Structure 1
Amino acid sequence: MEALAVRLSGLDAYAEGAIRVVAFYDTLMRRRVDLPALARASAGLAECVAGIRLHDTGRAWRVAPDGSRPSDPPSPSSGHGSAPAHGSAPASAPVPITLDEEEIGEVWLERPGPPLALDTVVLERLALAAATVVERYGPARTTMADPALVELVISSGADEAATARALRLLGFPADAPVEVVAVRSRLPLHRIGALVCPGRTVKAATVGDVGVLLAGGVDEDRFPADARAGIGAAESPERSWRQARTALRFTTAHRPVVHHARLGALALLAHVTPDAARENADVAAIAALADNPGDLATLDAYCATGSQRRAAQLLHLHHSSVARRLEQIGRTLGVELTEPAGLVRATVALTTWRLLTDRDG
């Protein structure tokens, strides 16, 4: 490296400097420094304040060239500070720390005056080095995981020892409860994991056509609007995965997140055979009703809320319009929807039809 730097120095001073920066960070990695030491070394190299921040924990290291911690925040020009501070230098545009194709943090410099030519190289190498440190001293706190490990955790054929080892490799403490979630969404799976498991360990992978989240805890209210999610309830990850897949089948536009434990006896409907479902008169009537999306949406909203007025609010219609629709739908189904027994009958038929179409699809 040094010989190459000498040869390039006669041609391009910038190239020589860039190679020396690369060699500097290679040396740091060989010495297996941690993130605070990496921030201190970078501040000394750049001769200005250097910063590292990890998104999942919110921890940040901001170090001056002399190794001290600056007392005043950086200028908010890059979004790192909330207000200008007297004597502080503007922060450069942050460079993302990327691991497993996921942004896990950012690095930046705070240089008085204009940036130097090699600042970009310093930031790029600092970001790469920070990713290496996070991975080395992990397990890495990234969301995306090796699908093979995730499949091993939820596999029905794995023994307890293999499952426990896979969970340890994924970063879950021994004997800690792990929630299993089945997800369908247009959003990237790692973003959903970060949203619903803030500050907790979460690993994500796609298995077949369904996203899998393994998490130390899930905040159900934080799922994005377009996501459908089923949450398992069993202690065994393998059984919990089966439950999560079942719960996912019960999700609707008005009930996008379903916890298997709250399904109760309704979960039994998932085990009704397709032939038995098709032969049921109520399910067949729902299938015929499906040709009219407006009627199906009205019945869905009414079954979800149990109230004509709340259904009208969901549908953005006047409650009298919903009442007329439900009266017509009840005649078509041969069910008195305003009676409790009729509402239960329609809900069971609608749910069974959904499960049937989900299975056929």
Structure 2
Amino acid sequence: MAVVKVVQRWLLGLMLACYVLAGVFPAPGEALRELTLPAPAGAGALTVPMVLLAVMLFNAGLGVRAAELRVMVRQPVRLVLGIAANALLPLLVLPLIALALRTWPDPAEAEGLVVGLMLVLAMPIAGGAASWGQNAGGNVPLVVAMVIGSTLLSPLTVPFGMHMAGQLVGPYGAGALDDTTKVDVIARTGAGMFALMSVVLPCLAGVLVRMLLGEERARRVLPAVKAVNIVNILLLCYINAAGALGQALAHPDPDLLALALSLSGMVCCLTFYCGRWMSRWTRCDQPDGISLTFATGMNNSSAAAVLAACWFSHRPEVLLPILSYSLLQKIVAGAAGKPPRSRLDKTPSQMTAPGV
């Protein structure tokens, strides 16, 4: 699977290419995003991005070693700290951003940016944190346990994050967003079910399948799983970006794009810095500190983009900060920890979704 390793090395550039393709040729991506697949009665609409996201999270779960998770559960302090930091940081960051954006001349744009940032920050820790953490010399079982714990909490944290976003952009927040009612509806119903069906259950199913396969057979199928996952990630990037970037290019707004990039970059750097500060404050050893940094700094932007595309496809200002964050967190992750030479040739064996 030498090709997979090369593609992984160039994944960020390929994601940028998908974004460019989505901006220039958005029609196929928009058609795929609107396509509804057959679903069980009462399950609601099942879209292509939801299926791709579920496959991505299943593959991530397939990369988890249950034995290593059991070891980390017996040492819960840093595990709980990482999960709590990732979940609580939005409660501190977003109100400050909403307050600062009150001076922005277009309230609808400001509120869309707040909703987009809350969507990505409310999502669980990205599975890619394990890959980045391993390359930087981190405690991989610890960060994988943080990812799983954060994922299990997502049916609670995602609706709560959306409820908070509704408060920030409602009549008593930055202004009167025309989608305030929709944000409230997502908080009460859609977000929790989305997190459960598209994030938690596929991930747990992957963990269970690995347990049933056994370690030897799982190791044999993981290279193929990684290849499928890379294609999955790139296709999901293109579909999610098609609507937002297509509209952004059709009606260019350089100020909005610059603001989305600036806010996403600032928040992304802040989350990584907070993780590093906490690792020093708690006097973690270096591997645990690296794991805490990546777990605090990386969120599942793919899940945020799918949810945003389902509910806010007509609002590019909601998707723009999510797409920006997706790219920027990988750039910041690369700067946050350079891989030790002894680890460069090792392939991550845990979470297999580097783009999540």
TM-score, length-scaled by structure 1: 0.24
Structure number, greater radius of gyration: 1
- Ranked by relative contact order (alpha carbons within 8 Å, sequence separation 6 or more), the top structure is 2
